[in-house]
Amino acid sequence: MEIDIKPNQRKSIHGQWSSKIVFIFAATGSAVGLGNIWKFPWMTSEYGGGAFVLIYILSVILIALPIMIAEVLIGRHGKQNPVGSLKYLSNKSSTFDVTEIDSDLQRIQTKSKKYSNADDYTNWQLVGWSGMIAGILILSFYSVIAGWTMSYIFKAISGAFSGITVEDSKSMFDTFVGDPEKLLGWHTIFMILTCFIVSKGVKGGLEKSVKILIPGLFLLLISLAFYTYTLSGFYDGLAYMFIPDISKIDGNVILGAMGMAFFSLSIGMGSLMIYGSYLSDESSITNVTAVVAFADTFVAILAGVIIFPIVFTYNLDPSTAGPGLIFQTLPIAFGAMPGGIIIATVFFILLFFAAITSSISLIEPAITYMIEKHSISRPEASAKLGFLTWLLGIGTILSFSYAADLKLFGFTFFDLLDNFTSKVMLPLGGLLIAIFAGFIVKHNIIFDELNISNFKFIFWKSLVRYVAPIAVTLIFVNGLL
Ligand code: PHE
């Protein structure tokens, strides 16, 4: 295939979002998920509260958001799966200008010549590959945790939380995760649902549902935050989250916070490249991504504002709860509040939907790759990749029971996957995407795609060229040593 240098009028073969609002909802659906409500409070407690939150917010603004813009831009221009889009842009950018004499017209003219064809292999494709693998690895444990959420919907309906004590809540959780058969059942159901939606095409199913779900989740979280305001531990919870203890900041905390920013905003692995490839050319990339990043951060902070007052009201120790933090704390509050059964049920249902809108974006890059590259149907691609992910998930399930003591470098299988994807794969993917957008892609392509003032453009470009790559490298090296 020859590279056309004409303005980009191509469309993704998978379709296009019907409006920019739908993109905002879909990308917010991808970003807002278990990461915000399950993982963010857990990480905040793991890394000592306010110090972590502060670094997290700085990472979102200075590192994650500029990379998010780059990712959406690459996707929208490439209009293919991430591997294809990176290849297309890399080849399209490798043109050079030659000045020659046109003997017929008797004048000097400048022509753009190409070094390569759109189909030529480039090493940048590897970034797309690593992203697809990261997506599958993340989904394999994400689905297990989403399974916990589904099970908690039914616990909530049955009234199991009514008047529950701190000890009972903890033992309910421990008994549940210690039962691999139950976890497997829920993990299986969640994976089937994910594959079913993905097999129908992300666009159709997602467009309608996210418009109701995302606002629903926002409203419920805000109401819950009003409830925790009435708890005696409200101010202690807020102080824990918002007053940073600077002495707690070390390489590990910074790496954890940066990794959390990548995970929560769904960047570094191609999800937003795919969503960007369905975005119409008229929508402003900087505006839509800013809205998504803000909404995502808002939900994470809100989740903390709900969880930590509960933690302090009931004298729990935030540093020891681990991944069970929200499943152990929230039932206590639900069990004590008026109308708790209904509120708890609605909460876990909405969390489940938030999880599924994220899970489909985790698998979509690999699905589009299989469809475009191997010419197989969407249902077939979904079934094959879904099975692979499901199989991997069994490792996570067992790491909460039979294989809890089986450790590699001190990590269980689940810890290993979680740490490796968030702290290594996503930041590395993000770093390469920043370098690609900052140095490799032709200036005019980016300038046309972004369509922003010179001042904003220079600001963004210095972030992706220098700030993000240098920060990620330093944090990475420092955190690992
Ligand atoms: N951002 C999602 C969440 O917070 C998880 C996710 C990570 C989704 C990476 C897509 C890509 O739950």
Distance CA(382)–CA(370), nearest Å, equals 9
Residue type, 102: D
Q: Is 269 in the pocket of ligand 1 (CB under 6 A)?
A: yes
Distance 33 CA to ligand 1 centre (A): 6
Closest ligand 1 atom to Cα of 30: 8
Question: With left for phi above 0 and alpha for psi between -120 and 50, is residue 197 left, alpha or beta?
Answer: alpha
Predicted local confidence at residue 106, as pLDDT: 67
Predicted local confidence at residue 22, as pLDDT: 83
Q: Is 362 in the pocket of ligand 1 (CB under 6 A)?
A: yes
Residue type, 42: W
Q: Is 263 in the pocket of ligand 1 (CB under 6 A)?
A: yes
CA distances from 311 to 166, 174, 361 (A): 10, 18, 32
Distance CA(402)–CA(421), nearest Å, equals 23
Predicted local confidence at residue 110, as pLDDT: 63
Q: Within 10 A of 344 (CB to CB), how many other CB atoms are there?
A: 25
Residue to probe by mutation, ligand 1, list 39, 40, 263, 428, most atoms within 8 Å of CB: 263
The pTM (predicted TM-score) of the whole model is: 0.92
Q: Is 36 in the pocket of ligand 1 (CB under 6 A)?
A: yes
- Orientation angle between helical segments 202-229 and 234-242, nearest 10 degrees: 120
Tell me the three state secondary structure of residue 117: coil
H or E element in which residue 113 lies: strand 107-114
Q: Is 33 in the pocket of ligand 1 (CB under 6 A)?
A: yes
- DSSP letter for each residue of 271-298: HHHHHHHTS-TTS-HHHHHHHHHHHHHH
448 alpha carbon, distance to own chain's centre: 27
CA distances from 279 to 24, 215, 360, 456 (A): 10, 21, 17, 21
CA-nearest residue for atom 10, ligand 1, is 266
CB 199 within 8 A of CB 364: no
Predicted local confidence at residue 6, as pLDDT: 44
Percentage helix, strand, coil for the chain under 3-state DSSP, each rounded to 5:
75, 5, 20
CB 30 within 8 A of CB 271: yes
Q: Tens-digit pLDDT profile for the chain (481 aa)? A: 444 444 456 778 777 887 888 888 889 999 999 999 999 999 999 998 999 999 999 999 999 999 999 999 999 999 888 899 999 998 888 866 666 666 666 667 666 666 566 677 888 999 999 999 999 999 999 999 999 999 999 999 999 999 999 999 999 999 999 999 999 999 999 999 999 988 887 676 677 777 778 888 899 999 999 999 999 999 999 999 999 999 989 999 999 999 999 999 999 999 999 999 888 888 899 999 999 999 999 999 999 999 999 999 988 888 777 899 999 999 999 998 888 999 999 999 999 999 999 999 999 999 999 998 888 999 999 999 999 999 999 999 999 998 888 888 889 999 999 999 999 999 999 999 999 999 999 888 998 899 888 899 999 999 999 999 999 999 988 877 7
